Structure 1
Amino acid sequence: MATIKLGGNNIETSGTLPKVGELAPDFTLTAQDLSSKKLSDYKGSRVIMNIFPSIDTNVCATSVRKFNEKATGLKNTNVLCISRDLPFAMKRFANDEDVNNVTNLSDFRDGNFGKNYGVEMVSGDLRGLHSRAVVVLNEDGKVIHSQQVPEIGAEPDYLSALKTLL
């Protein structure tokens, strides 16, 4: 379990993020068109997982916009923006914001991604949603960067995540 904060209050997560050097667990998430996507679908490419509570909050939306902007120059890299939002909300946001360099994926069906990656919040007002985190994988699916953001209201360290891909 990890302890993070929301407005200064302690929040517990269901576990801890995969560690650098570990193989990332596979997952099945739902795309905006309701198709299923697995981590294995991205095998052979680098992956940035931008994980957050909800696309309908300012900091979460900002992280999607920033990773969308940064993704334009990345070779052989997929940016996956992952939350428990419904695919319809993610599609609306992508259309409204013209966000097309990232892939929005939802864990709304069973929440297994949140449990397996240790990001499901199990206490506090946002329990059941994902905490804010970034996980970066190399082409072999091994973790090369992992950040559990300590305060839900803070943005992730974009630079540290992106530096691992240079």
Structure 2
Amino acid sequence: MPTLTKLKGNDVALYGNQVNVGDKAPVVTLPNTALEEVTVGGAQGVAQLIVAVPSLDTPVCAMETTKFNNQAASVDGATVYVVSMDLPFAAKRFCSTEGIENLQVLSDYREKCFSTQYGTLIAEGPLRGLSARVIFVVDKEGTVTYKEIVPEITEEPNYEAALAALKEAASK
């Protein structure tokens, strides 16, 4: 049975390898807003908050990125990534306009390798080909310690739970 989320109340299947709590986080390399290659997942010696969003050019994704930019900056020993299908140029403009400086915005537009390896790729419906709204926390050794597939793509994630999981992973 496929993993599901919802878009405006309708079931939406997700494609790809479902990464769950306890799994090793796949290592994926993605371009940032300067077109530099950045590696996410795996053991990095710091905790990672990996936030998958459909597009920065939507109100909910913009709000979510801004909130994580402001709140996750206070977590020592952690790196925060936001992954979308947006082109790096559009992401750079968004970060400049919104003052995003405390996290790295990455693009999965090339091969959709993050979305397929983490199981966040929307497989059907009007958002097919974009990522669902999913949060992962990865500990220093590269193990996923927290995962939230936001039940309704148009809604925000549980910030408190994600940040608590990040703080716990960073403190170990």
TM-score range (shorter-chain normalised) is over 0.9
Cα offset, 1:78, TM superposition: 0.6
Greater shift, 105-114 or 33-42, is seen at 33-42
Cα offset, 1:16, TM superposition: 5.8
Greater shift, 54-63 or 15-24, is seen at 15-24
Letter in structure 1 aligned against 2:82:
C
Map of 1:10 onto structure 2: 11
Cα offset, 1:145, TM superposition: 0.4
Please give the per-residue CA displacement for 1:140-161, whole angstroms capped at 9, x wherever unaligned.
1111100111100110111111
TM-score by length of 2: 0.92
Distance 1:147 1:63 in 2: 14
Distance 1:147 1:129 in 2: 17
Distance 2:16 2:8 in 1: 21
Map of 1:145 onto structure 2: 146
> Aligned residues: percent identity?
37
Please give the per-residue CA displacement for 1:11-56, whole angstroms capped at 9, x wherever unaligned.
1110464111111011011111111111269711110011110000
TM-score by length of 1: 0.95
Change over 3 Å in CA distance of 1:111–1:51 after alignment to 2:
same
Distance 1:112 1:11 in 2: 20
The runs of 5 or more residues in structure 2 that have no matched partner are none
Give the length in aligned residue pairs: 166
Map of 2:27 onto structure 1: 26
Distance 2:14 2:41 in 1: 25
Distance 1:137 1:156 in 2: 17
Cα offset, 1:162, TM superposition: 1.0
Map of 1:87 onto structure 2: 88
CA contact (8 A) 1:2 1:16 kept: no
Distance 1:65 1:78 in 2: 15
Instruction: Supply the RMSD in Å over aligned alpha carbons.
Output: 1.4
Letter in structure 2 aligned against 1:28:
T
